Amino acid sequence: MTSTTGPVHRTSSRSTALLTDRYELTMLQAALADGTADRRCVFEVFTRRLPPGRRYAVLAGTGRVLEAIEQFRFGTSELDFLADERVVDDRTLEYLAGYRFGGSMVGYAEGETFFPSSPVMVVEGTFAEAVVLETLVLSILNFDSAVASAASRMTSAAVDRPVLEMGSRRAHEEAGVAASRAAVVAGFAGTSNLEAGRRYGLATIGTAAHAFTLLHDDEPAAFASQVAAMGVGTTLLVDTYDVRRGVENALAVAGTALGAVRLDSGDLGVLAEEVRQQLDAAGARDTKIIVTSDLDEYAIAALAAAPVDSYGVGTSVVTGSGAPTCGMVYKLVAREGADGSLEPVAKSSHAKISVGGRKAAARRLDAEGRASQEVLLTGSDRDVRGWGSDDPTLRALHVPLVVDGVPDRAWMGSDGVAAAVGRHRASRDELPRGARRLSADEAAVPTVTMGIEG
């Protein structure tokens, strides 16, 4: 495994402005025409429910949202497209030409666990500047959080054994980069994706596939070539033909200092036992065993007693292990009234009810420091904005992300990923006992509402 050190923050200069739905801009046009576009508004990102059977979810993608907002600019190409397709009128095009998000954002720190109704991100600004971000924010947070939520279950199942991400080939090329980042946020030790490594300072891993063995006249020749190129500390893939013979050939070439062998097919638990015995008998007690082959959290848990040193996961993690989205929504919860104050607003449609008004969020901890409640604090806008807990059992969850249009760069690039890794580890550790079990159950922490007064 190699690692990139130091802060890394490289993103594409391509505009993100058209990574949105048409109705965002048609709403903007109508609001500009009727005079409501400048009304101050508060939008809230939350999910109404967790995927079936899941006990918690993990927020990921916050840093990517901030990077994408910096690139949310309508240049000549974007404006020409909108004009040619007659998406919006000239007045709206003029507004978009100078668009810059000048509002503020707070939210859960990236890596934090969350539950139904958790206000994981709050966007405040004029209607015009905030509404156009809906699709972009949701597309990033829904995907990244789905990957991180699945990855967290996998690293929980693996306990102290490293889990490695290698699923880029099962996703869109840019989704593969995002998935690598999200998996690392939730505890994965590295990724096979080089662009993710370059962009976010992630450790990258990988040696050879079956094609490399098949290229050569025989397995010993392939192993000798790889060892000559990469040294005896490399990982040799030993199941192209016969596993026992593969291990013999690997040891004959690399000796007992061989770094690791990889198993990619068959009954991995049985094979791992047999290979461990074979390696130990040959004196290669420090040679590690890495297993791959369509692993998910359940397969990892089933291998808990096997002599496996690390796991490589592909398809399952980049697709959310059966839950490819977190179902997050971006809802207007407050808007400026005639007197200039913010008034709560809420949708009341059946099965899609939301709670109006700005909210603060906190997690109540018991005497052992374990989460017992997700607390949503409500009240007048002034009281909620000024809330600060003097209750030692409440841990405030919202942190500043953007102030007056300026993002806090601590959440971006490689530094942001490192911070998210630490936050996830701490947040998951404070969950109630049993929250990390893979068996289906309700949310591990109930969400309650508490009124506050100034």
Question: How far apart, in Å, do the first and last CA atoms of the chain sit?
Answer: 54
Contacts of 95 (CB under 8 A, 6+ apart): 28, 32, 37, 128
What value does the CA radius of gyration of the chain take, rounded to a whole number of Å?
Answer: 25
What global pTM score does this model have? 0.94
Q: Which residues pair with 378 in a beta bridge?
A: 451
Q: In what order do the strands lie in the sheet with 235-237?
A: 190-191, 163-165, 310-313, 288-291, 260-263, 235-237
- Per-residue pLDDT at 160: 95
> Residue type for 173, please?
E
From residue 103, give the alpha-carbon distance in Å to each of 23, 126, 192, 262.
Answer: 21, 7, 37, 50
- Per-residue pLDDT at 454: 62
> Residue type for 333, please?
V
In 3D space, the residue among 292, 283, 233 whose CA is nearest the CA of residue 258 turns out to be 233
CA distance 297 to 312: 11
- Per-residue pLDDT at 4: 44
Mean pLDDT by 10 residues, the chain (454 residues): 46 83 98 97 97 96 97 97 98 98 98 98 98 98 98 97 97 97 98 98 97 98 98 98 98 98 97 98 98 97 98 98 96 95 86 84 96 96 88 95 97 97 98 94 95 80
- Per-residue pLDDT at 280: 98
Alpha helices in 113-170 (DSSP H): 127-131, 134-158
- Per-residue pLDDT at 6: 47
- Per-residue pLDDT at 3: 41
State the chain's maximal CA–CA distance in angstroms.
82
Go through the domains of the chain in sequence order and give each one's CATH number. 22-132+327-355+398-436 (3.20.140.10), 148-318 (3.20.20.70)
- 3-state DSSP: the chain helix, strand, coil percent, rounded to 5? 40, 20, 45
- Per-residue pLDDT at 390: 82
